[in-house]
């Protein structure tokens, strides 16, 4: 079915300080030790050889733009999510829902589709493409997520399907496809937030799969405490660990701190379209270490289920009152399910 072509701006020519991240080629039977080292050292890595062609990659970005460019604001409100009430991102997260800093609200729209596309109704412009979106979710689940989970399990010394078995495609859970569009901020808001569009944070699931796109804005916090940019690689995926993987691995794989900032000068004023697959263990999984814990953020008796953790994090994000961390000027904290969650200014 014909869809308007989405044309992103050219790759930035600004001399940015990029993170030097490993590249894992899934088509070449990567070694578990390589994936373990990539996740332990950086928490972020690229994946190539994932089975989606450049044309198929372009097609999903064309579809991803539909919920934003082809749906009126009044129709968007009909499909708005109820994050605080249900702890689920399904549907739209419209602009100015999250508080960033100093009274500034966000300028990003999300449209989230559960891998079970029948869970909710969808805007008219999206409906003809639901079969393609479901196929995209299946591809990510079985051809990207599961192979990575097998490698990560082997890297922990566990049977290779240990993590796969708690990430079922048909299980009860909230793993979903996310389309995300960032819009420019006013000069006044950029000053108030020091050009930060989303504060440094960790994702709350196990693995986040991000489809690389050319508008530079994503940065990671390195082990040395520096913010470094993520470089665009055509038709590559950017993979990072979230809270659930940190909990399950006993801290061997750490949830990676990342943020979104104003793009460089030669890309400012252009929208930034993102395509993600946010992966979570099944809702009933207790987030207990599967190996001897390197460090613990809660005692076993207090371990939340994935459902409890995702609902708590989803309902609170961008809405809760954060407190400055003791002795840390640039870190703010909140407590969710008895666990301290940090946000980086």
The tens-digit pLDDT sequence of the chain (345 residues) is 778 999 999 999 999 999 999 999 999 999 999 999 999 999 999 999 999 999 999 999 999 999 999 999 999 999 999 999 999 999 999 999 999 999 999 999 999 999 999 999 999 999 999 999 999 999 999 999 999 999 999 999 999 999 999 999 999 999 999 999 999 999 999 999 999 999 999 999 999 999 999 999 999 999 889 999 999 999 999 999 999 999 999 999 999 999 999 999 999 989 999 999 999 999 999 999 999 887 778 888 889 999 999 999 999 998 888 888 777 777 888 888 777 888 877
Q: What six digits make up the tokens of 160?
A: 């290779």
Backbone φ and ψ for 328, nearest 5 degrees, come out as: -130, 100
Backbone φ and ψ for 200, nearest 5 degrees, come out as: -60, 130
Integer-rounded Cα Rg, in Å, for the chain is 19
Within 13 Å, how many C-alpha atoms sit on residue 75's CB side? Answer: 14
Q: What's the CA gap between 272 and 325, in Å, rounded?
A: 32
Q: Do residues 46 and 212 lie in contact, with contact meaning Cβ atoms separated by under 8 Å?
A: yes
Q: What's the CA gap between 18 and 26, in Å, rounded?
A: 23
pTM exceeds 0.75: yes
Strands of 258-261's sheet in order across: 227-229, 218-221, 258-261, 196-201, 339-344, 331-336, 323-324
Residue 132: which of 275, 278, 282, 234 has the closest Cα? Answer: 275
Q: What's the CA gap between 169 and 155, in Å, rounded?
A: 23
Residue 210: which of 258, 282, 266, 262 has the closest Cα? Answer: 258
Spatial neighbors of 32 by CB under 8 A, at least 6 apart, are 151, 152, 154, 155
Angle between helices 146-155 and 32-41 (to 10 degrees): 90
- List, in order of start, the domains of the chain with CATH numbers: 23-344 (2.60.120.330)
């Amino acid at each position: 079915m014909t869809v308007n072509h989405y044309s992103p701006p050219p790759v930035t020519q600004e001399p940015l300080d990029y993170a030097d991240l490993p590249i894992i080629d899934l088509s070449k039977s990567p070694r578990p030790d390589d994936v373990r080292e990539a996740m332990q050292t950086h928490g972020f890595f690229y994946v190539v050889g994932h089975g989606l062609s450049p044309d198929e990659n372009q097609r999903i970005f064309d579809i991803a733009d539909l919920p934003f460019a082809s749906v009126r604001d009044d129709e968007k409100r009909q499909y708005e999510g109820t994050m605080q009430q249900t702890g689920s991102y399904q549907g739209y997260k419209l602009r100015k829902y999250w508080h960033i800093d100093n009274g500034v609200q966000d300028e990003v729209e999300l449209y989230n589709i559960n891998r079970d596309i029948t869970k909710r109704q969808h805007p008219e412009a999206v409906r003809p493409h639901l079969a393609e979106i479901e196929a995209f979710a299946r591809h990510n689940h079985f051809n990207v997520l599961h192979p990575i989970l097998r490698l990560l399990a082997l890297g922990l010394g566990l049977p290779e399907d240990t993590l796969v078995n708690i990430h079922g495609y048909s299980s009860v859970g909230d793993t979903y496809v996310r389309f995300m569009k960032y819009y420019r901020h006013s000069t006044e808001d950029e000053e108030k937030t020091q050009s930060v569009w989303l504060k440094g944070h960790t994702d709350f699931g196990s693995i986040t799969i991000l489809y690389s796109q050319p508008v530079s804005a994503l940065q990671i916090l390195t082990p040395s405490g520096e913010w470094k940019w993520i470089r665009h690689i055509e038709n590559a995926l950017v993979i990072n660990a979230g809270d659930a993987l940190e909990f399950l691995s006993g801290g061997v794989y750490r949830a990676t701190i990342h943020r979104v900032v104003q793009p460089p000068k030669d890309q400012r004023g252009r929208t930034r379209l993102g395509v993600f697959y946010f992966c979570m263990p099944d809702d009933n999984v207790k987030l207990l270490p599967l190996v001897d814990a390197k460090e613990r953020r809660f005692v076993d008796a207090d371990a939340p289920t994935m459902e409890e953790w995702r609902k708590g994090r989803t309902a609170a994000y961008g809405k809760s009152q954060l407190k400055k961390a003791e002795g840390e000027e640039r870190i703010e904290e909140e407590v969710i399910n008895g666990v301290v969650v940090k946000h980086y200014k």
